[in-house]
A and B are shown apart, each in its own frame.
Chain A
Amino acid sequence: MEWKFTEDRPIWQQLSQQIARQILIGVYPPGSKLPPVRELAAQAGVNPNTMQRALAQLEQAGLAESNRTAGRLVTQDRGVIEAARRAEAQGIIRRYLESMNELGYSPEEAVALLKEEK
């Protein structure tokens, strides 16, 4: 996958978000094994400590869990994944409405225009 980093935020946060995205869209299905830290770090071209921090964040969010023998697994709890997916969607909607607002459209007009777009 293509890793992209912006200037303004710590890299671990961006990594965490991008891996979360991979979980939400099913690249890493529920209960599947995530690649080891070193491998992911090499893939993204980042420091292993940074990747470690990103994965710890995913665990804190409940999207992944450490297993003593099997390494790090994506959560089996589809409820958690669904909630994260919803939160991500709401973020996209908020950004859409904000952009439309800048262009001078009210939320109602923005919704109406969205419906026209099929």
Chain B
Amino acid sequence: MNDMLIESWGLTKSYGRKIALDGVDLSIGRGKIIGLLGPNGSGKTTLIKILCGLLQPTSGTLAINGQSVGPETKAIISYLPDRMYFANWMRAVDLFDLFRDFYKDFDYEKAVAMCHSLGVEPRNRLKTMSKGTKEKVQLALVMARKAQLYLLDEPIAGVDPAARDFILRTILTNYNEEGTVLISTHLIADIEKVLDEAIFLKEGKIMLHETVDNIREQEGKSVDTLFREIFRAQPMEGGEF
């Protein structure tokens, strides 16, 4: 088994002339919860999509579990996309059936139990569910796998603050302990206390990759405060702050 779960060197992705990721060198270990933090348009989703094989990098190399991206890495990655991609007529249990067929590590009973603890009736059709409820179903799908790497793209963006705590707790109590969880978000204050490490992404480059303890010890301030300081200089694009 390799020491590092994810290693990348000079990972770059450009869309035409726009450079979304610019020479990203990453080294991510196992058994960690890591925040991928950055304002809108900083390259968070692009990085995650490259990790799970939905996008090809323009240049650079990437190894997950010592292998290049392919069927073997996809089998150990559980991915929560930033948007819903399921047909509306389906019920949550239909999705669970689908996932059971696709992934050896999917635990059907666990998914149903998670739905119940999140207050979702798994026999309901998706079209009857609110946006927040659909996100909970998606989370149950993703966390019910015993994966090595969980890639969660904005898992708490669409739900109210009370549900956020609940979702974070669900992630905390359900992830595979030997696995690593990578969570992208700009809601840092909500998520800071569950993180081992934080990665700050700015205009496609890594500005900082440090443990949360070290940030607090060395800077004497929270990750949220540091983030605001670093990104305050120029006005945010997208304006979610």
**Contact surface of A with B, Cβ cutoff 8 Å:** 5, 7-12, 38, 41-42, 44-50, 53
Contacts and interface: CB of A to CB of B under 8 A. Distances in A.
State the 4 A-B residue pairs at the shortest beta-carbon distance, nearest first.
A7-B222, A10-B216, A10-B213, A46-B193
B195 A7 contact: no
Contacts of A49: 31-33, 196
B217 A41 contact: no
B95 to A, nearest CB: 26
B173 interface: yes
Contact of B225 (A7, A45, A50): A7
Interface of B: 31-33, 165, 168-169, 172-173, 177, 192-196, 212-213, 216-217, 220-222, 224-225
B196 A45 contact: no
B170 to A, nearest CB: 10
Nearest to B192: A11
16 contacts: A7-B222, A7-B225, A8-B220, A8-B222, A9-B216, A10-B212, A11-B213, A11-B216, A41-B172, A42-B172, A42-B173, A45-B169, A46-B172, A47-B195, A47-B196, A49-B32
A49 to B, nearest CB: 5
The B contact surface, by secondary structure, is helix
B221 A7 contact: yes
Nearest to A3: B193
Contacts of A47: 33, 172, 193-196
A50 B169 contact: no
A48 B221 contact: no
Given A38-B173, A41-B172, A48-B172, A8 B221 contact: yes
A40 B195 CA distance: 16
Contacts of A44: 193
A8 B212 CA distance: 12
Contact of A48 (B177, B213, B216): B177
A46 B35 CA distance: 13
B216 A45 contact: no
A53 B33 CA distance: 15
Given A10-B216, A11-B216, A5 B193 contact: yes
A45 B194 contact: yes
Contacts of A48: 172, 177
B195 A8 contact: no
Nearest to A39: B173
B117 to A, nearest CB: 12
Contacts of B32: 49
B213 A45 contact: no
A35 to B, nearest CB: 13
Nearest to B165: A45
Contact of A11 (B165, B173, B177, B193): B193
Contacts of B216: 8-11
B193 A45 contact: yes
Contacts of A46: 172, 193-194
